[in-house]
Structure 1
Amino acid sequence: MINWRKSSHSGGGGAGGQDCVEVADLTPVIAVRDSKDPDGPKLALDTTAWRTLAHQIKNGHHDLA
């Protein structure tokens, strides 16, 4: 069984603040999914790519205008 957990930074946008990203540590990759669509597509990143993406998100590089 995969142990998904919601990002501590999820929420705040969308209908009722339900915009949630979930992550799972599947060493050697990190899996990412939309909590509203748990059976939908997942993104698998190696740890370097995950750290880069997380850093970019934290610094607003992927914010919508």
Structure 2
Amino acid sequence: MNILVNDEARTVTARTLAALVDELGLTGARIATAVEGEFVPASRRSQLAISEGMKVEIVAPMQGG
């Protein structure tokens, strides 16, 4: 399936947001996720199905100043 992750086209096999996080090697990382511009808390990632053409944003907090 083809989706956009952080505005980059990707072909993935994941069917849920949690599976996508795993597929991208981000399991255990402190990240925030959004799908189609809507924040998705970690507790809902395994229930949120992703589909062809979806736009997913994954960001990690940064320290420093």
- Shorter chain as denominator, the TM-score bin is under 0.3
Greater CA radius of gyration, 1 or 2? 1
Q: Name the structure, 1 or 2, with higher relative contact order (CA <8 Å, separation 6+).
A: 2
Q: Give the structure-2-normalised TM-score.
A: 0.27
Normalised by the size of structure 1, how large is the TM-score?
0.27
